[in-house]
Amino acid sequence: MNDGAMKSADSMANFRATFGVLPNKSLRADYYAWKLQLGSWLEGFIHLEQRDGRDAGSATVTGKPILVRGQEVLAFEIGDTYTHPDHRRKGVFLNAVNACVAYATDRGAKFIYGTPNDASLPGYVAKAEFIQIEGLRIAILTRRITRRSLAKALQRRVRFKLLAEIGAALIYRVRVVARAIRMIGQVPAREAQFEQFPMVDGAWGGRDEFLFWTRRDSSFINWRYKKNPDSYRLWMVQQGDATMGYAVAKFYTKGDSYVCAICDFASINDDTKVTESLIANIEMAANKEGVDYCEMWCSSRSPCFNVILRMGYKEIDAFPVIINAGSPMASVLKGAGKWHFTLSDSDNI
């Protein structure tokens, strides 16, 4: 990484820190340096918009290898759009976004996508020529997995603490039994090191029906997690010498809760039992370590969506995916097709 990129990463970290803490990802300069490093395909890009000699707004784009109908293309994720309160409604946001769109377009991006929050979404759609993918939502799914967290939730509904604790103990016991039954006959998952991630093609089976599937090969996985300055953990399911699937989790503190974010998961041809085994084994590890609840993102168009719901996860919120309307593949992505979209497909963790 050259000196200019390092300076840009340091400036971005300092600017982002003015907006408060993000417990689920780092705000350090080395995080933004990682985003700029040569990853799977191309270096990322940070734009810091200046006003009166000071950083007034920001945006970033990061290159991703995406399979669209089985064809591997270069896409860019746009994010980190922050505007200092003193410079809102002055064109800062639009200039930063347009600079990132131009960077990605110049490098042959087939599409540019993002997952903006409620504050950024109107600016993207009304001003920056982005559109929402109709009929697609990314669900935020959570599940309380310890007796303590269940009791805390029940206590908000019932008056007596003792009654909440008794109810939580019963629910917890039923869940333990149900999980044990579900695990019968399944291939067990085990925690592994990222150095052990297999040499796979990254498609994990046929993906011709998918409009969005990140190429999850060893190169991408090691860039996304091992080289990331934050800490992640890997689980894999193997049958003999074959790897049937994997999942990645991140443990962090959010307020007064200890959270396990299941950041990513994939299996050969979306095998239901493999997916259940991966999630269940992560839950067991999280339970032992005192995690209050697990969370994950899953596309409503994913074959895994109903599997996760059957495992007891609840959809607590959802948001759209946006794409740049001028992207060469915008018309394709607006059509019908499956999407496998997890937390790891965003810069939110």
CATH number, domain of 170, equals 3.40.630.30
120 lies in some domain? yes
Q: In the sheet where 257-267 sits, what is the strand order? A: 189-192, 233-239, 242-254, 257-267, 293-299, 138-144, 314-319
Do 164 and 309 reside in the same domain of the chain?
yes
Range of the domain at 66: 3-135
* Percent with pLDDT over 90 in the chain: 64
Average pLDDT taken over every residue of the chain: 88
- What is the reported pLDDT for 151? 57
Q: Each residue of 229-261: pLDDT tens digit? A: 999 999 999 988 889 999 999 999 988 889 999
Do 192 and 119 reside in the same domain of the chain?
no
- What is the reported pLDDT for 110? 97
The one-letter amino acid at 300: S
Is a pLDDT exceeding 60 seen at residue 129? Answer: yes
Predicted confidence band of residue 100 (pLDDT cuts 50, 70, 90): very high
Domain tally, the chain? 2
From 46-60, 86-100, 148-162, the region with the lowest mean pLDDT: 148-162
Residues 336-340 have a mean pLDDT of 95
- What is the reported pLDDT for 183? 61
Using CA atoms, how far apart are residues 287 and 267, in angstroms rounded to an integer? 23
Closest CA to 62 of 41, 83, 48: 41
The one-letter amino acid at 235: W
Closest CA to 312 of 93, 140, 141: 141
Do 24 and 145 reside in the same domain of the chain?
no
Do 42 and 162 reside in the same domain of the chain?
no
Predicted confidence band of residue 144 (pLDDT cuts 50, 70, 90): confident
- What is the reported pLDDT for 179? 63
Using CA atoms, how far apart are residues 47 and 60, in angstroms rounded to an integer? 6
Residues 166-190 have a mean pLDDT of 65
